[in-house]
Amino acid sequence: MGVPIISPAKLNLFLAVTGRRADGFHDLVSVAAPLEFGDELEGEAGGRRGESGGTFSLACDEITLPLDGSNLVLKAAEAFAAATGWREPVRFKLTKRIPMGAGLGGGSSNAIAALRALNRLSGDKLDAAGLERLAAGLGSDCALFLRDAPVVMRGRGERVELLPPTAASRLRGRSVLLFKPSFGISTPWAYGRMVARGTDYLPAADAEARLAAWLDGKAPAEELLFNNMEPAAFEKYVALPVLLARLRREFGVAVAMSGSGSTSYALLRDPSTGSGQAGPSEVVTQMKHRIRELWGPEIFVREARLA
């Protein structure tokens, strides 16, 4: 019998890239939150090994997704096997809803879902600390998906701590409108462009001070939003800043790009604050219409909530 695991998307609500490290990675300070929206990964143990002799296999409903060893699901599975010695054949089936190249952490989330599925199938071979170690080795933003709550990330993203409860309460349950253009943005390209521009980094002390001011105060989520990866992306992909400016002007919403893009989002009004404007559902409908009018009718647009 299969083990289904929800694999949520995430949003970077605050992302300050502070500089390039000697190992080629970048240091950052970020607040990220999982969404009540994402993929689903099912792991099923048993059966025969694949024709190539491999222990793990992957199927997916997204035909453009690589299903070989470059996929983070299979990389996570091999890392789990190496760490635990547990090598029962497992078939993974991934139902993909998070767009690729979107800045929503889909691949990293899938990797953590694979670790969780394998841990359950193996009878919990790893404790929480063991899962943390594997997650940190798989990718810079993998560890955050072990928390299931808003987090602060530091280092290259592997140092993760839960957001303080009072701060998390200002995020949890807020609705966002996600929208992704027809193109994706390569994360290596985005960081490479930051290096070439050389003007977009925010010093670590400034990033920490900016974050601390929000954490220690009572400001709403709207005042947290920041992403210094936007200038490099906006320089090449001008459709992004044009649409974000239009949404700010017409609807009065806070908007930003998530991660390295290309997905952006609008933080929808908090119903608890009240408003004399059109009702939330009408406003969202109008926003969706404007986004599709400018970017095309077939693009990805979805409303979701911060978990």
The answer to whether residue 141 is catalytic is yes
Catalytic, 96? Answer no
Using the Cα atoms of residue 188, residue 193, residue 198 and residue 199 in order, give the sign of their dihedral.
Answer: negative
Q: Which of 27, 75, 96, 141 is catalytic?
A: 141
- What are the Cα distances from residue 69, in Å, to 54, 55, 115, 133, 148? 10, 12, 15, 20, 27
Q: Which of 10, 75, 96, 180 is catalytic?
A: 10
Q: Is the dihedral of CA 197, 199, 201, 204 positive or negative?
A: positive
**Token digits of residue 146:** 């072990």
Q: Do 35 and 98 touch, CB atoms closer than 8 A?
A: no
> Active-site residue numbers?
10, 141
